[in-house]
């Protein structure tokens, strides 16, 4: 028997991480990626010397990033370098007030006691409450899959589920501790990072704002794409095979056992297939109908999808001193969020700004600046969200007006060297995300933990799934955990030779 061959569909974060883990354990791994570059949603656009991160920008839990390199037998410091950001964010409210959130507790307390004296204690109590629940979630839910019935129905899980108190919404659980609406918004906005409304998403997802405050927001030197490049480099060093611009057309299955993948004009035989392409789109287009188990078209129609993102990437020939991460809140935050999922296009949207060149001039030509503006928008499940040229240009103009309204940015349109735009349609087409839902299946209670598709979601032997729409969910550290779950499972059930 020779070395077992593994075919991985997609060179996104989870695909590359699974590839590194299995290649480093002696399997013979080939990754097939439809796009000409690795990274998936962690993509990069390069234009006239500007290097734009396309999707993720906020680094949390850098030790999870590093663990991948350590596991593969390398020193992470040779691949990735992180810097703690301070401040974490600058938050701007509709009435012109600003809140700067420091990663230094002493500075943060001063800010809270000055701006929100009534709420400083509640803020700390909120952090303590969600920290305790995070410890339970991390050990009980995020770190492992639910691969067989006994992984779900056991006393510990039932007890932990009760202790997590997931039934409350994120916003309600914040409001219990904090009275000021601005401070509530500062803690609630982050559920949008996984594409769910804070008014609907389970309270456990306030762990995102807790992690930011207690464990920090980090900057990855070279921008987020440095992680994709580092993973590509490590995989190739380990002897893996990467086939870019090579879309997979179908997973080959015979008698319920995965046999490999069909490419354009070619088939590739493999002992195991791991699909990193986002679950709903991948199952619907790559798996023969009789092998889709419960994931029928009807089931996918019934499932709920996260919001999407409209992003403007600006390469500017002028410096605009600001912080790396900023958020601007809509006047009516609740209406803005409700519109997202109604779905209705936002009239006065909240948005997020990212300017990595504030601390990393290597991403732009000398003296120039990058500004990335992300506006949460509805996904394309509603077919009126055409994102044709007319709709895109109209919304782009609306958003340029919003940027120009920020004090100091009034002249921005006179200083644009390059401009790119991603709409929900771009996400759908470039990365095969169903309905252009940038964070995959919406992480509501009935689509989280044991209810989310698992690594072994289909009744097909030797076929596995990794990535955002499978457990544990969206976000770089979280999909890195998904890669760990799937590769540990393969190691356990399929000997390498
Ligand atoms: C706008 C945006 C902002 C975000 N911000 C953050 C953030 O700040 N911090 C954070 O931690 N996370 C963030 N996220 C989430 C994070 O980026 C994702 O969860 C993660 O990158 C997804 O990785 P993945 O492995 O699940 O899949 P993907 O990145 O989707 O990779 C799947 C790959 O499969 C490929 N593929 C699809 N179909 C085929 C096929 N038939 N054949 C071959 N290849 C195929 C795709 O091209 C893609 O490269 C953000 C996401 C977006 C979109």
Residue owning the nearest CA to atom 5 of ligand 1:
56
The mean pLDDT of 159-167, rounded to a whole number, is 67
The mean pLDDT of 335-351, rounded to a whole number, is 94
**Ligand 1 mean position to 163 CA, how many Å?**
31
- Of 38, 59, 8, give the one whose Cα is nearest residue 431: 38
| Per-residue confidence (pLDDT) for residue 449, from 0 to 100 | 86
Q: Cα–Cα distance between 428 and 389 in angstroms, integer?
A: 16
**Ligand 1 mean position to 380 CA, how many Å?**
17
Could you tell me the pTM of the whole model? 0.96
pLDDT band at 293 (very low <50, low <70, confident <90, very high): very high
Please give the share of the chain, as a percent, with pLDDT higher than 90: 87
For ligand 1, pick from 39, 42, 55, 464 the residue to mutate: most ligand atoms within 8 Å of CB. Answer: 55
Alpha helices by DSSP H, listed for 238-296, are 279-286
Tokens of 112: 């809270």
The mean pLDDT of 347-367, rounded to a whole number, is 97
Class of the domain covering 5-45+63-80+222-303+444-493: alpha beta
Point out the least confidently predicted range of 157-161, 279-283, 450-454.
157-161
| Per-residue confidence (pLDDT) for residue 165, from 0 to 100 | 65
Residue owning the nearest CA to atom 26 of ligand 1:
467
Domain boundaries, the chain: 5-45+63-80+222-303+444-493, 107-216, 305-431
pLDDT band at 158 (very low <50, low <70, confident <90, very high): low
Per residue in 94-105, pLDDT tens?
Answer: 999 999 999 999
Instruction: Report the pocket of ligand 1 as residue ranges, CB < 6 Å.
Output: 9-15, 32-35, 40-42, 55-58, 193, 247-248, 276-278, 286, 309, 374, 431-432, 438, 467-468, 474-476, 479
Tokens of 276: 């990193």
For ligand 1, pick from 41, 278, 438 the residue to mutate: most ligand atoms within 8 Å of CB. Answer: 41
Per residue in 46-83, pLDDT tens?
Answer: 999 999 999 999 999 999 999 999 999 999 999 999 99
**Ligand 1 mean position to 80 CA, how many Å?**
19
Residue 419's φ and ψ, nearest 5 degrees, are -145, 130
Counting atoms of ligand 1 from 1, which one is nearest the CA of 38?
Answer: 49
Q: Cα–Cα distance between 285 and 280 in angstroms, integer?
A: 9
| Per-residue confidence (pLDDT) for residue 360, from 0 to 100 | 98
Please give the share of the chain, as a percent, with pLDDT higher than 70: 96
Point out the least confidently predicted range of 148-157, 193-202, 255-264.
148-157
SS3 per residue for 320-351: CCCCCEEEECCCCHHHHHHHHHCCCCCCCCCE
**Ligand 1 mean position to 55 CA, how many Å?**
8
**Ligand 1 mean position to 41 CA, how many Å?**
3
Q: What is the CA radius of gyration of the chain?
A: 22
Counting atoms of ligand 1 from 1, which one is nearest the CA of 14?
Answer: 25
Q: How many other CB atoms sit within 10 Å of the CB of residue 331?
A: 12
Residue that the structure tokens 């409209």 belong to: 310
**Under CATH, which number does the domain 305-431 receive?**
3.30.519
**Ligand 1 mean position to 40 CA, how many Å?**
4
Counting atoms of ligand 1 from 1, which one is nearest the CA of 10?
Answer: 34
Average pLDDT over all residues of the chain: 94
Per residue in 117-152, pLDDT tens?
Answer: 999 999 999 999 999 988 887 776 677 777 777 766
Residue owning the nearest CA to atom 18 of ligand 1:
475
Residue owning the nearest CA to atom 48 of ligand 1:
40
pLDDT band at 448 (very low <50, low <70, confident <90, very high): confident
Per residue in 169-220, pLDDT tens?
Answer: 899 999 999 999 999 999 999 999 998 899 988 888 889 999 999 999 999 9
* Catalytic residue positions, numbered: 212
Q: Which residues pair with 328 in a beta bridge?
A: 92, 351
- Of 419, 381, 209, give the one whose Cα is nearest residue 301: 381
For ligand 1, pick from 277, 423, 425, 478 the residue to mutate: most ligand atoms within 8 Å of CB. Answer: 277
**Ligand 1 mean position to 11 CA, how many Å?**
9
**Geometric angle at alpha carbon 433, from 290 and 309, rounded to 5°:** 155
Q: Cα–Cα distance between 439 and 245 in angstroms, integer?
A: 23
Q: How many other CB atoms sit within 10 Å of the CB of residue 72?
A: 21
């Amino acid at each position: 028997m020779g070395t077992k061959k593994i075919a991985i569909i997609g060179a996104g974060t989870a695909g590359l991480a699974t590839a590194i883990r299995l290649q480093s354990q002696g399997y013979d791994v080939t990754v097939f990626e439809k796009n000409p570059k690795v990274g998936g949603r962690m993509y990069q656009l390069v234009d006239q010397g500007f290097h734009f991160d396309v999707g993720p920008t906020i680094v949390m839990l850098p030790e999870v990033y590093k663990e991948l390199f350590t596991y593969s037998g390398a020193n992470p410091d040779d691949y990735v370098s992180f810097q703690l950001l301070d401040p974490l964010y600058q938050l701007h409210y509709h009435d012109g007030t600003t809140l700067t959130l420091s990663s230094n507790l002493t500075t943060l307390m001063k800010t809270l006691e000055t701006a929100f004296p009534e709420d400083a204690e509640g803020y700390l109590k909120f952090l303590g409450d969600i920290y305790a629940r995070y410890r339970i979630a991390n050990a009980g839910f995020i770190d492992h899959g639910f691969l067989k019935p006994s992984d779900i129905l056991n006393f510990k899980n039932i007890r932990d589920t009760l202790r997590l108190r997931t039934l409350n919404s994120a916003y309600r659980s914040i409001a219990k501790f904090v009275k000021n609406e601005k401070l509530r918004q500062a803690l609630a906005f982050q559920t949008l990072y996984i594409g769910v409304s804070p008014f609907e998403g389970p309270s456990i997802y306030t762990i995102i704002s807790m992690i930011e405050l207690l464990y920090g927001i980090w900057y990855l030197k070279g921008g987020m794409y440095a992680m994709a490049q580092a993973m590509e480099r490590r995989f190739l060093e380990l002897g893996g095979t990467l086939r870019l611009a090579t879309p997979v057309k179908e997973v080959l299955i015979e008698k319920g056992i995965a046999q490999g993948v069909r490419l354009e004009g070619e088939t590739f035989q493999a002992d195991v297939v791991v699909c990193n392409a986002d679950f709903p789109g991948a199952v619907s287009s790559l798996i023969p109908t009789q092998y889709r188990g419960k994931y029928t078209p009807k089931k996918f129609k019934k499932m709920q999808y996260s919001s999407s993102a409209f992003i403007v990437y600006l390469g500017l020939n002028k410096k605009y001193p600001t912080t790396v991460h900023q958020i601007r809140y809509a006047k009516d935050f609740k209406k803005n969020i409700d519109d997202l999922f109604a779905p209705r296009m936002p009239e006065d949207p909240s948005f997020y700004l990212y300017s990595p060149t504030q601390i990393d001039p290597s991403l732009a030509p000398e003296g120039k600046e990058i500004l990335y503006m992300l506006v949460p928008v509805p996904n394309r499940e509603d077919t009126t969200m055409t994102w044709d040229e007319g709709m895109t240009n109209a919304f782009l103009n609306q958003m340029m007006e919003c940027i120009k309204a920020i004090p100091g940015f009034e002249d921005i349109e006179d200083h644009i060297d390059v401009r790119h735009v991603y709409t929900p349609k771009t996400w759908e087409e470039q990365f095969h995300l169903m309905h252009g839902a940038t964070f995959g299946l919406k992480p509501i209670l009935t689509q989280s933990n044991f209810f989310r598709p698992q690594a072994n979601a289909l009744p097909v032997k030797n076929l596995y799934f990794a990535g955002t729409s499978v457990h544990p969910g969206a976000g770089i550290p979280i999909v890195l955990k998904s890669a760990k779950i799937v590769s540990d499972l393969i190691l356990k059930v399929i000997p390498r030779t």
